[in-house]
Amino acid sequence: MPAEAQTENAAAGGPLAGIRVVELGQLIAGPFCGQLLGDLGAEVVKLEQPGSGDPMRNWGQGNTPTWWRVIARNKYSVAADLRSAEGQGLARDLIAQADILVENFRPGTLERWNLAPADLHAINPRLIIVRVSGYGQTGPYATRAGFGGIAEAMGGWRKIVGFPDRVPARMGVSIGDTLAATYGCLGAVAALHHRARTGEGQVVDAALYESVLQVMEGLIPEWAIAGHKRDRTGSKLPAIAPSNVYRCHDGEFLIGANQDSVFARLCQAMGRPEMAQDPRYATHLARGENQDELDSIVEDWTARHSVAEVEALMIEYAVPAGRMYDAEDMLADPHFNARQAIVTVDDPVLGPTPMQGTFPKLSATPGSIRRPAPREVGQDTAEILDRWLGRSVSGRPVPAQ
C-alpha cells in the first residue's frame, strides 16, 4: 500500500520555502517545472485562462482525468486572461512580487503580451525567468511551434528507440517535456544561487531539443570522432552482454550481467560456472562479439523458470536484475512504500489518490505535497491577491485585520 495520506495540513517547508513562483505555462513542460519547484517548497501561483484553464485538466485516463492531480499539486490557481490588458496588469503585479517566473509559450508570446523579460526586470530586477520552448529563444528555428515529441526527434532520442526493422518508437511518456522542465528547474535553482551573491535575476533558456540532446551520452563524438552512428537496437545494448530482457515461462525479466565478475556470478546461478572461463564469453569484448549467441543461452535458461525463481537466484548471487514493473506492481511493492516513492494525497475531486512522492529526497529540508491540485480555475484568486498584493478581487485594498 502507498504511504499515508498527505494533505494541505502536511508540514510546510522544503529547501525552497519562502520562494514565490508565478507559472504562466500550460500542458507539460512549464507546469512540470512548476510542480518540481512546488514540491521543493516554493509557493507556486498558476495563472489560468478564465473558464477553460490549463488543457491538462482534461488529460489522462479514466472517467475523471487524473494527470492534473499530479502536475498541479502544491499550486494555487488564479484566473487571468493574458490576452487582455487587465490580465496582463494582474500578471505584472504578481510577477513584481515573485522570485521566479515559469513560462513555456512560443518565443515572442510574452513580448506580445507586454510581459517582455526586459520590462519585467525593470520592475523586479531580482526576477528569475524560466523560458521553456521547443527550440530556444534564439536561432533560426526559435519561432517554430515545437512539442516534446518533435524535440525528441531533433535531439536524437526518437531515432534510436525501438527495433531496427520498425519505425522509431515513442518512449511511452513525454520525456522531452519533462527533461526540459527538469533542466529549467535546475537552471532556476542555479540562478537563485547567483542572485544570492549578486542580487541579480536572469533568464533561463531551456530548449526542449537541447534538453534531450544533453542525455544522449556519447552520440555526437561517437560519430564525429569514431564514425559510428547509433541506430535502433531494440531491448539490448550493442556489444554489452548479457544485458537484455529475457523471457521466463510466466513473464519477462531484465538482467544486466555484463561486467566480468558479475557475469561469473550469473554463470554460477545458471549452474554453468564453466562459461565464465569460455574464451567466447570470458571478457567484455568477447561477450560483445558473441552477444546474440549469449543472449540465446541466457534466455534458454530463464525460459525454464518463473520470474520469481529467476529473481530469487539473481538476489542470491548478487546479479543486477529486476522485474518489469507496471503501476499495479509499484503500488504493491514494499520498497516503494518504505521510501514513500508513492504517497496518497487527499484530493477534493478523487478522494485518496496515490501518486509519485516528492523527489529528490533531502535529509534536512525534504519536499512535501502540502496541498492538492486546484479543483476550480481561479479558486485561489482572492487569497493570492490578498496575501501577495494586499487587495481584493475588486481592486480595493484589503482592510487591515
Residues 317-331 as b/e (b if ≥16 CB within 10 A, e otherwise) read bebebebeeeeeebe
Q: Which ranges constitute the DSSP H helices of 96-169?
A: 109-112, 117-123, 148-154
- 71 alpha-carbon distance from chain centroid: 10
Task: Give the largest CA-CA distance in the chain.
Answer: 84
Amino acid at 199: G
CA angle 196, 202, 204 (to 5 degrees): 115
The neighbour count for residue 222, using CB atoms within 10 Å, is 14
Measured at the CA of 14, the angle between CA 206 and CA 335, to 5 degrees, comes to 90
C-alpha cell at 322: 529486476
Centroid of chain to Cα 64 = 22
Report d(CA 27, CA 108) in Å as an integer.
Answer: 18
Q: Is 177 annotated as catalytic? A: yes
Residue 283: which residues within 8 A CB-CB, separation 6 or more? Answer: 260
Which residue among the candidates 39, 54, 99, 177 is catalytic per the annotation? 177
Rounded CA separation 260/275 (Å): 11
List the one residue out of 74, 92, 55 whose CA is nearest residue 371: 74
Quick one: how far is CA 332 from the chain centroid? 23
Return the DSSP state at 353.
E
Catalytic residue positions, numbered: 177
